[in-house]
Structure formats: structure tokens, C-alpha cells
């Protein structure tokens, strides 16, 4: 204990004697604690200084190193997460672009295919239309040539038939036929309609347009007189009647007056036959078209 007091700088002899006495009489002493505020304060200060020194030179660097490490790890993790997010975003964007490209490619291929098919169809249609047009034009030209050739052949045949018929009828004309033609003309004059009578009456009143009787042969005076008498019964006021010969009238005779006519001749029958043949040919060609 004395050593302890010495260490505490309490080497007073009175104090030591009092303590020794107390120590020697354990059953009779009462422990008295002496509280030194200076020592207590010094210990607290020493402890605080020690804590500050430990913190300053030991704990703080360790804590700083730990914080720095944690911050570094956090930064690395943050950068890693950011990189991962960026990579994920880029991957998603790339996938989106790839999907859009695939869609665009598919749509483009489909569009190009449709356009190519439409263009091919258009070209085929144009080619087919052109072929059809040329075929129709060729067939039309061929039909026209065939029709022209057939028409030319039929016209030549018709002309030959008409010429032959005219020649035959001309050769067969005789006096009996002439008498019969005059008889037919007088009968037709006698049987003229009211409209014809009015027309010929107006014509006979015009001295600038006298009535004319044309015949394929020369009429005898008796025949001229017979025709004149019959005409007087129908047109009592007519002033003049002229008789003329017309070789173009094949076996025929006619009464003319400023566009009006009463006639009978083989030429009319031949003209009617010629017209019927022409109409028949036209109908045949139209039906072939």
C-alpha cells in the first residue's frame, strides 16, 4: 500500500500511519475512500486524449479506408448497374431496331413482291391486249380483204349476169314485144292514181317541161297516136307530147314529166334484181362480221 501511495504521490507519514493502523485492526476500522478530483479529471482527460489519438491515428484511417472502400465498391456497383442498364437499354433498342428492321424488311419484300406481281400482270395484260388488238386488227383486215375480194367477185359476176341478161333480152326483142310494151304503158296510164294525175296535170301545164315518151325502139305513128289518145283521156289539157328513142331502155317504154314517171321496161326489173343482189351481199357480209 505504501508503494501505491508513493506512486500516487501521497507519502505523508501521518497518512501512512493512519492507514497502517487501520490495516492492522481490520475488525475495528472503517474504510474511508478519498476521492481525488484532480486524478479523476486527469484520467478522463487521458482517456479522451487516448480515444482521440486512437481515433485520429488508428480508427479514423481504418474507417476512412473502409468508407473509401465501401464508396469505391458502391461506385463500382453503381457503374456496373448503370452499365448493365445501358447495356439492357441498348440491347432492347437493338432488339427493337432488329424487330422493326425485320418488319420493314418483310413489308418491303411484300411490297416489292406485290409491285413486281402487279407490274408483271400489267405487262402481261398490256401484251395480251396488244396481241388481242393486233389479232382483231389482223382479222378485221383479213375479213375486209375477203369481203372486198368476195364483193369484187360478186360484182363482176353480177355485172356479167346483168350484161348477159341485157344482151339476151335485147336479142329477144321483136315486134310482138313492142306491141305488148305499148299496151302495158297505155294500161298503166289509164290506171294512174289521183296523185299521179295531179302531178302530170301540173307538169303538162308547164310548157318548159313537156311530157316525154321514151322507148327502146322507134314507135310507129299508130302507136304514138294510141298513146296520145289514152293520155288525153287522163290529161285533157296537156299541150304537147314528145316521143324519143332510148337504146338504154332494154325492152321498155316510159312516160316522163319533170321527175314523175310511168314506165315498164326490163331495165327496171334488172335494176331491182341488181339491187336485191347487192342487199343480199351486204347482209351476208354483215352477218360474217
CATH number at residue 178: 3.40.30
Q: Is residue 134 part of a domain?
A: no
Average pLDDT on 108-115 reads: 84
Q: Is residue 232 part of a domain?
A: yes
Q: Is residue 189 part of a domain?
A: yes
pTM beyond 0.85:
no
Q: Is residue 109 part of a domain?
A: no
Asked if residue 45 has pLDDT above 90, the reply is yes
Burial of 19 (0-12, 13-18, 19+ CB in 10 A): middle
Mean pLDDT, the chain, rounded, equals 75
H or E stretch at 121: helix 60-172
pLDDT value at residue 6: 43
Asked if residue 31 has pLDDT above 80, the reply is no
pLDDT value at residue 168: 59
Q: Which domain holds residue 208?
A: 173-268
Q: Is residue 245 part of a domain?
A: yes
Average pLDDT on 121-143 reads: 86
pLDDT value at residue 215: 82
Q: Is residue 155 part of a domain?
A: no
Least confident of 53-62, 125-134, 152-161, 243-252: 152-161
In the 8-state DSSP scheme, what is residue 252?
-
230 touches 190 (CB < 8 A): yes
Domain end among 72, 106, 123: 72
Domain end among 72, 99, 128: 72
pLDDT value at residue 46: 93
Asked if residue 142 has pLDDT above 50, the reply is yes
Q: Is residue 53 part of a domain?
A: yes
Q: How many domains does the chain have?
A: 2
Instruction: Provide the pLDDT confidence category of residue 169 given band limits of 50, 70 and 90.
Output: low
Domain end among 11, 42, 72: 72
Q: Is residue 250 part of a domain?
A: yes
Amino acid at each position: 500500500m505504501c508503494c501505491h501511495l508513493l506512486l500516487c504521490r501521497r507519502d505523508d507519514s501521518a497518512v501512512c500511519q493512519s492507514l497502517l493502523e487501520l490495516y492492522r485492526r481490520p475488525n475495528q476500522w472503517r474504510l474511508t475512500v478519498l476521492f481525488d478530483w484532480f486524478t479523476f479529471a486527469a484520467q478522463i482527460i487521458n482517456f479522451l486524449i487516448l480515444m482521440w489519438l486512437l481515433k485520429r491515428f488508428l480508427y479514423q484511417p481504418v474507417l476512412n479506408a473502409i468508407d473509401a472502400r465501401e464508396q469505391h465498391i458502391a461506385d463500382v456497383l453503381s457503374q456496373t448497374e448503370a452499365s448493365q442498364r445501358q447495356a439492357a437499354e441498348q440491347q432492347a433498342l437493338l432488339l427493337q431496331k432488329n424487330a422493326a428492321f425485320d418488319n420493314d424488311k418483310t413489308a418491303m419484300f411484300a411490297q416489292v413482291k406485290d409491285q413486281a406481281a402487279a407490274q408483271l400482270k400489267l405487262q402481261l395484260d398490256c401484251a395480251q391486249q396488244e396481241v388481242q388488238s393486233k389479232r382483231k386488227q389482223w382479222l378485221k383486215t383479213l375479213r375486209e380483204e375477203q369481203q372486198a375480194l368476195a364483193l369484187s367477185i360478186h360484182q363482176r359476176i353480177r355485172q356479167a349476169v346483168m350484161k348477159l341478161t341485157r344482151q339476151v333480152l335485147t336479142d329477144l326483142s321483136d315486134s310482138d314485144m313492142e306491141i305488148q310494151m305499148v299496151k302495158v304503158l297505155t294500161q298503166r296510164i289509164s290506171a294512174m292514181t289521183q296523185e299521179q294525175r295531179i302531178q302530170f296535170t301540173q307538169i303538162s301545164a308547164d310548157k318548159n317541161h313537156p311530157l316525154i315518151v321514151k322507148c327502146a325502139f322507134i314507135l310507129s305513128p299508130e302507136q304514138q297516136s294510141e298513146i296520145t289518145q289514152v293520155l288525153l283521156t287522163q290529161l285533157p289539157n296537156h299541150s304537147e307530147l314528145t316521143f324519143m328513142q332510148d337504146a338504154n331502155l332494154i325492152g321498155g317504154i316510159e312516160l316522163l314529166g319533170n321527175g314523175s314517171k310511168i314506165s315498164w321496161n326490163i331495165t327496171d326489173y334488172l335494176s331491182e334484181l341488181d339491187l336485191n343482189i347487192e342487199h343480199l351481199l351486204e347482209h351476208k357480209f354483215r352477218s360474217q362480221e
